[in-house]
Chains A and B, each alone.
Chain A
Amino acid sequence: MRPRLALSRVLAMAWKDLTTERRGKAGFNAVVFMGAITLLMFGFALGPDAAALRTAAAGLLWLTVLLSGALAFNRSYESEAEAGAMDALLLYPGSRWPIFAGKLLANLIFVLLVEAITVPIAAVLYDIPVLTPLPGLAGVLFLGTLGFVTLGTYYAAMASRVRAREVLLPLLLFPMLIPLLVAAVGATKAVLTSDPMGYGAAWIKMLAAFDIVFLAATFLTFEYVIEE
């Protein structure tokens, strides 16, 4: 496939998904609300001990991103299902990877926007200083989110043709995310605590490695997942 056509398809898919999402604001609002309420519930569950909250903040933040992000992935192929448009997408000649890349890009922007709202909420609720380590934190959030969204978009495609997709997606996705979650929490903790043990770089390298593996595996196999 010509690179220009591939790029045109990637951008068209992302534009279509983001436009659909923007016009049906309920989805974004629901995901942000889900994120905020999850952070609040974790706060209540751990009690008023500020030190305990700060210690657990990185893990709680990533669990919140995972739980609310999964809602977004379920919606990712909803427009195709509602419109019966998957056949039309599959009938465009050429590789399928631009379809995946477009959806991945839209989901990445969506989840990063959700994080732009939930991270400040977490900072207030758990009393974590995010301004000083902001560049490092943003980098870790991006790397972790990229891996998470890559797998989420992939498994959402797998589940999209199943009636019980809302149930199936977390069952498929969450076990696969455990290594990424461990690395993301480790890297975030290191960034937020100024990395006293010097493990931060190792966690970040591990996150980057997961991203590369996930991207390569999903791009290579998406074609087989999406076809009947």
Chain B
Amino acid sequence: MLRGVDLRLERSEVVALLGRNGSGKTTLLRIVATLLRPTRGGGTVLGHDLLRDTDAVRGQIGFLGHTNGVYPDLTAAENLEFTLRMIGQPVDARTIGSALEVVGLSSERDTRTREFSAGMQRRLALARFRLLSPALLLLDEPYSSLDPGGAAMLTALIDDTRRRGGAAILVTHDITRARAVADTLVALEDGRLVALGPNELPPADTFPEGDVLGARSSARSAR
């Protein structure tokens, strides 16, 4: 349950969301992604209301959850072809080839993803973002299962989004990685936002119970 969370992202800002298991990080991310409806509160993404303009919000976000959403019986190229068809774009071999090249999977173009390692599947999931070009990345433990090369590609993708004036929310347990990638660190403790500051994370127990940031109940995210 999220209580009184108030979070604002500026353009080109990357926020790392930290916290213990069950603290509400994934819930917050899923609310911003419009996959969950908050019981109270609300928010906007690039001026679009999270509750009323869900289609407009969905057109702006790229969400990567715990799973990769890669179909195991399709090849890498077919997975991207499916994405292109779903967004109504022409299926162009060059577009697919270039997206696969960026994530280092060109040689696996015609391999069924069932044969991929978890890290390769993660890379393919990231390749989808090259086709979608989202303005707001919502990434839940995105570095898990990625090797150093894959992690560098993900960081490059986040930087690219930032350069284009987009933003990203990154859920992670890895404080070192969060410090390296994010502009702002946010910690959630039992559904409350307990720390917020540029690249600093004071211990959670330095904040008294009532010292939460934000006035609105539930999530208010990413404007």
Contact = CB atoms under 8 A, between A and B. Distances in A.
Interface stretch (B71-79, B154-162, B202-210, B213-221): B71-79
A209 interface: no
Given A83-B68, A87-B63, A91-B63, A19 B73 contact: yes
Given A16-B82, A19-B78, A93-B58, A84 B88 contact: no
A65 to B, nearest CB: 26
Given A12-B82, A93-B55, A93-B58, A88 B88 contact: no
Interface string B49-91: 0000011101101010111111111100010001001111000
Contacts of A8: 85-86, 88
Contacts of B56: 93
Please tell me the size bucket of the interface on B: 20 to 34
Please tell me the size bucket of the interface on A: 20 to 34
A93 B48 CA distance: 13
B85 A12 contact: yes
Nearest to B61: A91
B35 interface: yes
B223 interface: no
Interface on chain B toward A: helix, strand, loop, or mixed SS?
loop
A9 interface: yes
B71 A9 contact: no
A3 to B, nearest CB: 11
A132 B63 CA distance: 56
Contact of B55 (A87, A89, A94, A228): A94
Interface on chain A toward B: helix, strand, loop, or mixed SS?
helix
Contacts of A15: 82, 85
B71 A20 contact: yes
Interface in A71-104: 79, 82-85, 87-94
A9 B89 CA distance: 11
Contacts of B168: none
A84 B141 CA distance: 15
Interface of B: 33-36, 54-56, 58-59, 61, 63, 65-74, 78, 82, 85-88, 112, 128
Interface of A: 2, 4-5, 8-9, 11-12, 15-16, 19-20, 23-24, 79, 82-85, 87-94, 228
7 contacts: A16-B71, A19-B73, A79-B72, A83-B67, A84-B69, A91-B61, A228-B35
Given A9-B86, A79-B73, 7 more contacts: A12-B82, A16-B82, A23-B112, A84-B66, A87-B63, A90-B35, A93-B56
Which 5 residue pairs are nearest across A and B when measured between Cβ atoms?
A: A84-B67, A12-B85, A88-B69, A5-B88, A85-B69
